[in-house]
Amino acid sequence: MIRMEQRTLGRTGRDVSVVGQGTWQLGGDWGEVREADAFGVLDAAVESGVTFFDTADVYGDGRSEQLIGRYLKDRPDADVFVATKMGRRAEQLPENYVLDNFRTWNDRSRANLGVDTLDLVQLHCPPTSVYSSDAVYDALDTLVAEQRVAAYAVSVETCAEALTAIARPGVAS
């Protein structure tokens, strides 16, 4: 296996490859992706030194997470850090970003990936007002305290959203 340059991912304390593998395509949202082909993509990434996979609960309605989970179960030597995203399974309304929904979405992702604790969960480009909500960050802190997630982050669409989010001490990236 190639050793790719590594950097610490935000405030996670975890070193990951400077190049990550995005996995939206594995969900099959743009056409059929055979399991063998999906595993081939993941193998090629790992063999190239990639130690960071990015996915989301909505990629193929969870199929991307499921494939990653099965792949990593068969390749425990891969030492891959998995970031998944949540929040697009519901209508994009600020009132949907609450602890009960987070737990439900998180439980599904943990089952899909076959893990007790997610390495990193990111809010998946939520409505802008969500980035300023104390209750949202309290809920995310609760997921960490419950050991459902090791760290949380945000996936943003604007620099202003990013700056608002990273000002919060619990936001890892």
Does 59 participate in catalysis according to the annotation? yes
DSSP character string of the chain:
-----EEE-TTS--EEESS-EE-GGGGTTTS---HHHHHHHHHHHHHTT--EEE--TTGGGGHHHHHHHHHHHH-GGG--EEEEEES-SS-S-GGG-SHHHHHHHHHHHHHHHT-SSBSEEEEES--GGGGG-HHHHHHHHHHHHTTSBS-EEEE-SSHHHHHHHHTSTTB--
Q: β-strand 15-17 against 6-8: which pairing, if any? A: antiparallel
Catalytically annotated residue among 59, 97, 131, 152: 59
Residues 6+ apart with CB under 8 A from 81: 9, 12, 14, 16, 51, 52, 53, 119, 120
Catalytic residues: 59
